[in-house]
């Protein structure tokens, strides 16, 4: 019952955010479009994605900068991601609900069918596998399994699944995701820089997480597969 109440607290619309976080409406037509995405066409379209997301959609970890070069941000793994989630992100980039210098142009060059095809292709690829680290992830394990009632934080597994596989249309799979990318994403939600989460769910959660909790959650999910 306690977990159900926590879930309801973060799935109930919040009136204070009047501006819609996304323009994507999950109508039966849109769901069927993504479900029936053409893998062959998606694979062809995805050739241009390899330079950033890797030849198997495995993404790239962050590259630290030095005195002569700027740091290169992590690129997310998109192999094995939910096609509906990938489709939503592409449409969000295209209409400005989510912003990124490179991805906005890429997404705007795709029509709805092409976005569905690309999403289907990457969703069909195996989830990247990472070696487990030796550091303690006790804080992350507690947040994933139990949440924190004092902060009204629901357990992460309620939405993202116990194995980090994601759920429904807009809850992403996190298993195998680049830790640097997860950490940066949570920080962006925390600051409000990213705001295409439905009902502000992740913004409300991330605002209550410490930097150490964010770091551990990122490592925790990268090791799942």
Query: Distance between CA 90 and CA 116 in Å, rounded?
Result: 9
Which residue has better confidence, 77 or 133?
77
Query: Distance between CA 171 and CA 74 in Å, rounded?
Result: 20
Cβ atoms < 10 Å from Cβ of 204: 17
pLDDT band (50, 70, 90) for residue 3: very low
Mean pLDDT of 102-116: 97
pLDDT in tens, 30-64: 999 999 999 999 999 999 999 999 999 999 988 87
Task: Provide, rounded to the nearest whole percent, the portion of the chain with pLDDT above 70.
Answer: 88
Cβ atoms < 10 Å from Cβ of 36: 11
What is residue 62's predicted lDDT score, i.e. its pLDDT?
83
Contact yes or no for 169/85 (Cβ under 8 A): yes
pLDDT band (50, 70, 90) for residue 7: very low
Write the CA distances from 48 to 56, 94, 150, 168, integer angstroms.
12, 17, 46, 28
Q: Hey, what domains does the chain have and what are their CATH numbers?
A: 28-124 (1.10.760.10), 129-222 (1.10.760.10)
Contact yes or no for 114/41 (Cβ under 8 A): yes
Contact yes or no for 173/82 (Cβ under 8 A): yes
Rg (CA), the chain: 17
What is residue 135's predicted lDDT score, i.e. its pLDDT?
83
Contact yes or no for 93/99 (Cβ under 8 A): yes
Mean pLDDT of 104-114: 97
pLDDT in tens, 154-194: 999 999 999 999 998 899 999 999 999 999 999 999 999 99
Model confidence at 16: pLDDT above 60: no
Query: Distance between CA 34 and CA 15 in Å, rounded?
Result: 30
pLDDT band (50, 70, 90) for residue 19: low
- Supply the mean pLDDT for the chain: 89
pLDDT in tens, 143-152: 999 999 999 9
Query: Distance between CA 104 and CA 169 in Å, rounded?
Result: 21
What is residue 216's predicted lDDT score, i.e. its pLDDT?
97
Query: Distance between CA 80 and CA 222 in Å, rounded?
Result: 13
In which residue are the tokens 């994403």 written?
185
């Amino acid at each position: 019952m306690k977990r159900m109440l926590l879930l309801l607290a973060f799935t109930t619309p919040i009136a204070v955010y009047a501006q819609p976080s996304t323009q994507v409406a999950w109508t039966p037509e849109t769901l069927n479009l993504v479900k029936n995405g053409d893998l062959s066409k998606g694979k062809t379209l995805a050739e241009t994605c390899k330079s950033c997301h890797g030849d198997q959609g495995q993404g790239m970890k962050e590259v630290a900068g030095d005195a002569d070069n700027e740091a290169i941000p992590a690129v997310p793994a998109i192999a094995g991601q939910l096609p509906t989630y990938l489709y939503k992100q592409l449409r969000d980039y295209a209409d400005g609900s989510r912003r990124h210098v490179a991805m906005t142009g890429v997404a705007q060059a795709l029509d709805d069918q092409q976005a569905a095809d690309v999403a289907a292709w990457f969703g069909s690829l195996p989830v990247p596998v990472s070696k487990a680290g030796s550091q303690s992830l006790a804080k992350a394990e507690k947040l994933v399994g139990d949440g924190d009632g004092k902060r009204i934080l629901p357990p992460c597994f309620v939405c993202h699944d116990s194995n980090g596989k994601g759920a429904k249309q807009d809850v992403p799979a996190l298993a195998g995701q680049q830790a640097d990318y997860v950490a940066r994403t949570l920080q962006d939600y925390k600051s409000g820089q990213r705001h295409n989460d439905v009902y502000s769910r992740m913004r409300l959660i991330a605002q209550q997480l410490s930097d150490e909790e964010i770091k551990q959650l990122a490592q925790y999910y990268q090791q799942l597969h």
